[in-house]
Each structure stands twice: as C-alpha cells, then as structure tokens.
Amino acid sequence: MRLPDGLVAVVKRDCPTCVLVEPVLRELGAAVWCQDDPDWFDGDDTALELSYRLGIETVPTLMRIDGGVEAARVVGWSREHWESLTGLTGLGPGLPEHRPGCGSLSVDPFRIDVLEARYGGSGLGSRRVELADLEDEHEAMFDRGWTDGLPVVPPTPERVLRMLRGTTRNPADVVAVVPPDLVECTVEKVAVNAVMAGCLPEYLPVVLAALEAACTEEFALHGLLATTYFSGPLVVVNGPVARRIGMNSGVNALGQGNRPNATIGRALQLVVRNVGGGRPGGVDRATLGNPGKLTFCFAEREQDSPFAPLAAERGVPGDAVTLFAGSGVQPVVDQLSRTPESLARTFAACLRVTAHPKLPMAFDAMLVVSPEHGRVFREAGWDRVRLLAELAGLLTLPSDELLRGAAGIAEGVPAALAGVDLPKFRPGGLLVVHAGGDAGLFSAIVGGWVSGETGSAPVTREVRA
C-alpha cells in the first residue's frame, strides 16, 4: 500500500486526543485514516491493514511521507513536535501543549493474531484446507481423520501463530522425523497439532521436548505403535516449567481435569497420528490399547519427595521430560506398612505380576509412589537408589518358579534357565517417581512394554524455550 506524499494521520474516534486534534488535522489537509469510524474522515482503516503495515502503536500518529516513504512521525499530540514535523507554527492555539494518545486497535491483543495472519506474511508453510460454507468445522475434521476420536480445536492461522509465540524456535526448524511414515515434523506442524489438542502457547516447549524424546531410536516409537501390546507414550515432566504452566502432580495427577496434563500428552499423540501416520487399525495394531493412548502426561511431585527429580537422576536437571512406554495403571494398596522394608515388600509383590508373574526381564515398569507412602521412605532416609536396590533384591526370582508349566501355567521361561536366579526387571527397566494427593495410602504401577533391543527404553530430554 503506497501512501501519497504529504501528511498522513491515523486516528480512532474512540480516542479523546484524536477528537481533540480533529480541527488541526482538517486545517493541515492531512490524509486521515480512521480505525473505528469509516465516516469520520475520508480514509477508512477499519480493516486495520494500514495501521498494521505502518506499525501504528498509538493514535493519533502523524507522519510525513516523502517519495512514498515515511520521513518523520509524531505520536500523540504535542504542539512543538507537530509544528516541527509540518514546518508550520501556531497550530491548535486553543489546545493544551501536550496530550498523550490511546492504544492503536492494531495492537489490541484480541486482534493482533488475526492481523498477522491476514497481513503479516507470517510464512506459515502448512497446507490450508478450505471448508464449504455448509460444512461444520468440527465434523469436517472428524471426516478427514484428523482427530483421536474426540473433538479438536480448529487450527486456524491465527491460533497457530499464537501457539508459535510459546517458543523462540524457528517455525521451519525440523523437530524430529516421526514414525511410522518417517515424516520430517517442523515446529509449525507441532504447533498445529498442539492447537488441535487444546494446548496453550506456554505448553509448546514441553510438547516439542516430548516429541524429540519419542522419536529417538532408543524409544522405538515405530515398534511401540506396531505392537499388539497395550502401551503408548507416557510423559513425565520435571522442573520449574511444570509449576509455571500449572501442571498437576498432586490430587488425581494421573486422572482428568488438568489442562496441561491432558493436552500435552494429547498433542504428542496427534502429531504421531497426523504427521507420522500412526493410526489405530493401520500401523497401530494394539489388541486392546489403553485409555492413556489418548493422553498420558503428569508432573512429578518434587516438593516433599523422598527422591531427587527423575530427570535429574537420569542426567538432565531442571526442565525436562521423560518418555516411558506405559501400558496402563495398576493400583497398589498398603494401608498398614509403617517401615520402608515392609512397604518395599508390598511394592515388590505387586511389581512381580507386571505383564505376567512368570516373565522376568521382559517388560519394564514405572512405580508411582504417593506422598503418604513416600513419607515412609523419606522419614527412614531412603532415596530412590536405596529403594531400587531393595526392590532388586526382592525381585530376584528362582527360575524354577518361572519355568514353563510350573504351577500349572504354560507361560514362563524355557527349561534351559532352570536352576538360576533371574531379575524381574532388566537394569534400568524400573523407574520410580513421586506423585499424588496428600491423602491415601495408595501407589500405582504403570506397566511398560518389552525391554531391550526388541522394545523401548525410557528417554529423557531437556525442555528448551
């Protein structure tokens, strides 16, 4: 939009200072553009294109245009400055010497995303899908297969641009190559799916870190999708970011009702579906699945924990996510143990049945210790290392009990392993975290997937802005 040479002003009728200087503007013969009343002056900027392109932050703004280029600008009313810009004297003799202006509509927080999408040359590279006038946008997204079975938020350009403000990363940067189709996924594509999941912009760095972790070779996301087993990605968040964005690590931490918990895990799943092509009935071949495959995400309760933060003990202090292939939640009840030795035995007995009580070293697990159970360990001075060492001893099992056919159960280990002791979990295959509400002598076990080279290993990654 090329402006004519001379004086150009931008005003809005709702601004007292703009109304105050109306006689001066008419005396100057300036080309005046109004943001909110197309009939006040000849220039109609109610679409705010001129204000956006000129970077107007305050009205009135008076500019001098020379050769189609802005040569000078004055914001608000100041007789001295207006006279300097125009080269005239005696302007507005009945007006005060100075009056501040008002905020431009083009920087209104409720308009800026729309204006940027419309005029800003935002550079969004995602394909835009035009819907017919009679199409319901939510039903259209169901019909196109973009949802996880629940309604999603339409990812309009305005919403995607707003989401991208949650990170300093370039929208075109590739975050990961997403299985199963091995598609390069940019920050922008993650933002699109984060919008659909219902995330706020401040959640985006956590979603990006979760995707980076999920797409590592050791996490084996393609295999996790293709297995007929129950598991899907579980996200555990550590560090100040969890409190900053309002994540739940307390009452009902593994349940519903918390927006970041629900939408961060969902955004990861939607990226896998919409970018990577991992859809149930396609590559995703789970016999039963589990509800956590919609979303499974919570923060570790670091305050009053007997343990150091999970991510820190895995070598990533501060803001971080840990990805685990979780298969569902198994309750653990022990309302009587008051010593760590007794409570550890309860945990061991319950952990033994993970996947199957006669299958050692085959499946990982995560033990979620509640605050009331955690207090038992904290008061006894047991940290995570001490608890894991105790559990390792309790879960070293005589193979004769595990052999195929033992106890009348066909499942088990082959006869070649008779006469040896076998650990229930491989080294590093049991994770321990602290979460939950203050009341309730209940903990939980989240079963994992097959471990080792044929399965998935937990992965921890830093959350970066």
Q: Note whether 193 and 291 are same-domain residues.
A: yes
Asked whether residue 274 is assigned to any structural domain, the reply reads yes
Q: Note whether 258 and 407 are same-domain residues.
A: yes
The per-residue pLDDT for 121 is 66
The domain boundary, picked from 119, 151, 174, lies at: 119
Q: Note whether 240 and 299 are same-domain residues.
A: yes
Q: Note whether 83 and 147 are same-domain residues.
A: no
CA distances from 416 to 396, 399, 404 (A): 18, 10, 10
Q: Note whether 294 and 367 are same-domain residues.
A: yes
Q: Note whether 167 and 109 are same-domain residues.
A: no
pLDDT tens across 402-419, in order?
A: 999 999 999 999 999 999
Q: Note whether 329 and 376 are same-domain residues.
A: yes
pLDDT tens across 25-77, in order?
A: 999 999 999 999 999 999 999 999 999 999 999 999 999 999 989 999 999 99
Asked whether residue 336 is assigned to any structural domain, the reply reads yes
The mean per-residue pLDDT over the stretch 208-227 comes to: 96
Q: Note whether 218 and 318 are same-domain residues.
A: yes
The domain boundary, picked from 63, 84, 119, lies at: 119
Average pLDDT of the residues of the chain: 95
Q: Is the dihedral of CA 121, 129, 114, 189 positive or negative?
A: negative
Q: Note whether 425 and 362 are same-domain residues.
A: yes
pLDDT tens across 233-267, in order?
A: 999 999 999 999 999 999 999 999 999 999 999 99
Asked whether residue 1 is assigned to any structural domain, the reply reads no
Cα 120 to its chain centre, rounded Å, is 25
The kind and range of the H/E element at 320 are strand 320-326
Asked whether residue 125 is assigned to any structural domain, the reply reads no
Q: What angle do CA 184, 113, 162 make, to 5 degrees?
A: 45
Asked whether residue 132 is assigned to any structural domain, the reply reads no
Q: Note whether 167 and 113 are same-domain residues.
A: no
Q: What angle do CA 220, 208, 126 make, to 5 degrees?
A: 105
Asked whether residue 87 is assigned to any structural domain, the reply reads yes
Would you say residue 386 has pLDDT above 90? yes
The residue segments making up the domain with residue 331 are 141-462
Asked whether residue 279 is assigned to any structural domain, the reply reads yes
Number of domain units in the chain: 2
CA distances from 363 to 6, 254, 295, 391 (A): 76, 21, 21, 15
CATH number at residue 55: 3.40.30.10
Alpha-helical regions (H) of 232-339: 240-244, 259-274, 310-313
Q: Note whether 312 and 411 are same-domain residues.
A: yes
pLDDT interval class at 122 (50, 70, 90): low
Q: Note whether 66 and 155 are same-domain residues.
A: no
Q: Does this model's pTM top 0.85?
A: yes
Asked whether residue 135 is assigned to any structural domain, the reply reads no
